[in-house]
Structure 1
Amino acid sequence: MSASEGRSTPTATTSEHAAAERRAAARALLSTPILAAAQHAEDLALVRRHKVALRQAFQTLLGYPLVVEPTFARLVKAVPPVDAPARGARRANGGDFTPRAYTYLALVCAGLMAPGAGEQVLLSALVEQLRADAATAGITMDETLGERRALVVAINQLIAWGVLIETDGSVAGWGERREEALLTVNQSLLPHVVARPLAGMDVPQDMWAVDPAEREQPRPALRRRLTEHPLTRRETLTEAEADALSRERRDVARALDDAFGLTLEVRLEGALAYDPDDELTDVEFPGQGTVRQAALLLLDALVDTLNPAAGTTALVNGVPVPGVLASWEVVAENLELLSDQNAKSWRAEVAGDLGRLTDEVVEVLSAVSLATPTDDGLVLHPACSRYRPEPVRTATRTRAQRRLADDGRPIDPADDPLFDGSGPGADTVVVPHNQEQS
């Protein structure tokens, strides 16, 4: 065998490296659809290097246009299905955007695109423009601290996207003390913040209306569902999408893996293209913190309580779907019991407020498509049973071995049941499954 056999050739190595770069660039765009040079220089450099291949891949696989310019890249995603969990904008501290913050975001964008607007603007002048635009639209603006903070949240979002740069002063100073700030506008990126041209739209609902042509393309629609949403429920698929998943499962799996590094798993109740590296996961579950622990334990308790049988259905908006209904009374009873049992380890301000805990738990379960809130209660998807904690047995030492340990005398690891996890008198410890692929 020659010295070169058994290892990659330079050509193969170069090709693999280029494929890895394209995959990394595509993942960056999926995670952050607006990549500006100021915030994401390295990712933008990768995107620009492979822009031709990336444009083709996104358009072919997902039907997403990709705009690549010297100072930014913008991936324009399609309108999500009506059954998809909401994915709203978030503030820097992780909190949700308020309706007022969204209002200011729209007004700021309109003000920055007003006729005569330059590459730099004083914050005070921008606020005056907002007042004029708000009055024209019939929106009331006042000078309260809460209003100014909502405006700061909106402007900070544009700064995070790279649309605005704080050239002198800071936006935070305006929110607290009305201090002046000079902002530089990325005018080439600004028009691309809105995914669709507004010309010809009469009502806000036109923004998220689905193009009839998109409905006639089941394969890109299926791949979009799998790429963007935590759990694709089988009952939400159209007949054409379900047929594509059944007939072309291997091709879909290969395409999502090659392009985005996602692993496809299909089950009776649905399908999921998950990220083994967790980099694309925006809602972690299971995970750390009081709310996620409560949600995981609630699923276990409800499945035990309701004992759903195969083929069970429940009504969601009058439509029967696979799953079981847990009444709000049953949900409250179980959460209250779990709060009492975990009072020492859960955050007091959350565990002590049953209403808040219920709302936040339901929000998490809805975000990962495991449950759907209705007027009558919480409908649990069949996949919930796969999140049940798994009992793992850890051994305990005998009385003589504990006495030796207390006396400080060494125990031979070969004689210690804790060393290999075997032995009599085992205690049961609850450890959650790794459920990324559920």
Structure 2
Amino acid sequence: MVTSDRSLATDKQDAAETREAARILLRTPIVTAARAPEAMALIRKHATALRRLFAVNIGYHLVVESGFARLAKLPPEPHAAARSLARRNGTRFGARGYTLIALAGAALLAPGVGEQILLSTLVTQIRTDAAQQGIPLSDGIGDRRQLVAALAVLLEWGVLTEVDGTLAQWGESGDEALLTICRPLLPHLLVKSIGPGTASADVIAPQPDAPRRSLRRRLVEEPVVLRSDLGPEELDVLSRERSELTRMLSDAFGLVLEVRAEGALGYDPGGALSDIEFPGSGTVKQAALLLISGLLDSVDDDAAAMEFTWLLVDSVVSGLLRAHGRAWRSEYAGVPRTLRDDAVELLVSLRLAETTPDTLILHAAAARYRPRPNSTGTQLAFE
């Protein structure tokens, strides 16, 4: 009996550790021993279970080696909100930023590059490759800062490690730096291999998958899954296998399944798997939250998706600026259109809204963020 109890306790501990390791990989698909030794040790301990968990449940491929783990996710569904890389100041990467990251990766894979490289040598190779491809890249401060931002991504991923000197110092004054390269990780940065004949659509387009697995993947990755975005087979799985979906999401990833008339979501009570905190601090998040409230106050029924003209949206945002502008970022003062665009972009990324040329559509899930007085009437709470 004692042995049985010990075995049960061990099984529970293994399950809890596997779930925590899976959450780490969902949050950080590239984990290295140099940057996160404890997380890497946990992933290696449960590597076999993790490979099966991801492959069977959501169709992801996991690579685990001695120094790194790489969870290769699949391209998002067409209706999924875009998730672009961001610089440390929150600015999103554009096409040029991604181009520089790709050039840096190619330079690190160039023949003759060893385990370490001088930053000046790496930059020279990047500029040479850029010139050969007709991509302008000067030594001016603007291009230098963009290059620093791109290389900082590789630092964050653990592909590069600063040994002597820093990337920031080079960006400001041109001081030399020595970098160590995690060469085994480099070939695994791309989910798919790209050759001369590879079309961009073949790289980013989602591939057909079994409806059970595609639905599970969407519930894990997307903030809200609308029924209107699901195919007939996925809707059938959601209807017939709700109990199994609930168990799988909880056991594998610590998520709670919520199903409503309009759709479903995998809710993380701890909030650790959310890449965007909402509600949250900051001008755009506060403005987006108050925009929801202002728009819903203009209608009687918030049970379904609602359309609002841009004229009304602009009016609400202008009112918010008049009421709160002094406490918000100065760059938005007098430019309600900019604040409107940033707030709407946030709501769209959270799948709480979508846009048409003439209207902003709020989905029913947005109503859960409508502020209401609490029991004392002195503060705001949320549904």
Shorter-chain TM band? over 0.9
CA deviation map 1:224-264 (0-9, x unaligned): 10000100011001111111111101101100100110000
Return the match for 1:375 from 357, 366, 372.
357
Residue type of the partner of 2:228? Answer: E
Residue 348 of structure 1 deviates from its aligned partner by 4.1
Give the match for residue 232 of structure 1.
Answer: 225
1:299 aligns with 2:292: yes
Give the match for residue 382 of structure 2.
Answer: 433
Helix, strand or coil at the partner of 2:361:
strand
Residue 220 of structure 1 deviates from its aligned partner by 0.9
1:341 aligns with 2:323: yes
CA deviation map 1:49-72 (0-9, x unaligned): 000000000000010000000000
CA deviation map 1:159-194 (0-9, x unaligned): 111101112211112211122111111110011111
Partners in 1 of 2:364 and 2:239 — Cα distance? 20
Partners in 2 of 1:209 and 1:348 — Cα distance? 40
Residue 289 of structure 1 deviates from its aligned partner by 2.6
Partners in 1 of 2:197 and 2:118 — Cα distance? 31
Partners in 1 of 2:328 and 2:131 — Cα distance? 47
- Unmatched 5+ residue regions in structure 2? none
CA deviation map 1:364-389 (0-9, x unaligned): 11111011122112111122222211
- Unmatched 5+ residue regions in structure 1? 312-322, 395-427
Q: How many equivalent pairs are there?
A: 382
Distance 1:309 1:69, change over 3 A: closer
Helix, strand or coil at the partner of 1:432:
strand
Greater radius of gyration (CA): 1
Residue type of the partner of 2:17? Answer: E
Give the match for residue 19 of structure 1.
Answer: 15
Give the match for residue 276 of structure 2.
Answer: 283
* Residues 140-155 of structure 1 aligned to structure 2 (within 5 Å): 140-155=136-151
Contact 2:75 2:204 in 1 (8 A): yes
Helix, strand or coil at the partner of 2:213:
helix
Residue 203 of structure 1 deviates from its aligned partner by 3.0
Give the match for residue 368 of structure 2.
Answer: 386
Residue 343 of structure 1 deviates from its aligned partner by 3.8
Give the match for residue 407 of structure 1.
Answer: none
Contact 2:310 2:360 in 1 (8 A): yes
* Residues 236-275 of structure 1 aligned to structure 2 (within 5 Å): 236-275=229-268
Residue 308 of structure 1 deviates from its aligned partner by 4.3
Contact 2:374 2:381 in 1 (8 A): no
Q: Which stretch shifts more, 126-135 or 68-77?
A: 126-135
1:10 aligns with 2:3: no
Contact 1:306 1:326 in 2 (8 A): no
Give the match for residue 41 of structure 2.
Answer: 45
CA deviation map 1:339-376 (0-9, x unaligned): 22234543444354312211221121111101112211
Partners in 2 of 1:135 and 1:285 — Cα distance? 42
The sequence identity of aligned pairs, in percent, is 47
Give the match for residue 27 of structure 2.
Answer: 31
Return the match for 2:87 from 91, 108, 116.
91
Partners in 1 of 2:177 and 2:302 — Cα distance? 62
Residue type of the partner of 1:366? Answer: V
Contact 2:293 2:370 in 1 (8 A): yes
Contact 1:63 1:220 in 2 (8 A): yes
Contact 1:389 1:430 in 2 (8 A): no
Partners in 2 of 1:280 and 1:242 — Cα distance? 25
Contact 2:296 2:302 in 1 (8 A): no
Distance 1:119 1:209, change over 3 A: same
CA deviation map 1:6-41 (0-9, x unaligned): xx9222222111111101100000000000111111
* Residues 102-121 of structure 1 aligned to structure 2 (within 5 Å): 102-121=98-117
Helix, strand or coil at the partner of 1:335:
helix
Helix, strand or coil at the partner of 2:78:
coil
Give the match for residue 127 of structure 1.
Answer: 123
TM-score w.r.t. the length of structure 2 is: 0.95
1:62 aligns with 2:54: no
Partners in 2 of 1:357 and 1:284 — Cα distance? 18
Partners in 2 of 1:352 and 1:280 — Cα distance? 36
Partners in 1 of 2:340 and 2:153 — Cα distance? 29
Contact 1:201 1:207 in 2 (8 A): no
TM-score w.r.t. the length of structure 1 is: 0.83
1:350 aligns with 2:332: yes
Distance 1:99 1:309, change over 3 A: closer
Distance 1:162 1:216, change over 3 A: closer
Give the match for residue 218 of structure 1.
Answer: 211
Give the match for residue 77 of structure 1.
Answer: 73
Return the match for 1:189 from 185, 189, 202.
185
Distance 1:310 1:127, change over 3 A: closer
CA deviation map 1:102-150 (0-9, x unaligned): 1110100011111222211111211221122112212111111010011
Partners in 1 of 2:326 and 2:178 — Cα distance? 49
CA RMSD, 1 decimal: 1.9
Residue type of the partner of 1:431? Answer: L
Residue 201 of structure 1 deviates from its aligned partner by 4.1
Give the match for residue 159 of structure 1.
Answer: 155
Return the match for 1:332 from 294, 307, 314.
314
* Residues 404-419 of structure 1 aligned to structure 2 (within 5 Å): none
Residue type of the partner of 1:333? Answer: S
Partners in 1 of 2:372 and 2:116 — Cα distance? 58
Q: Which has the higher contact order (CA 8 A, sep 6+)?
A: 2
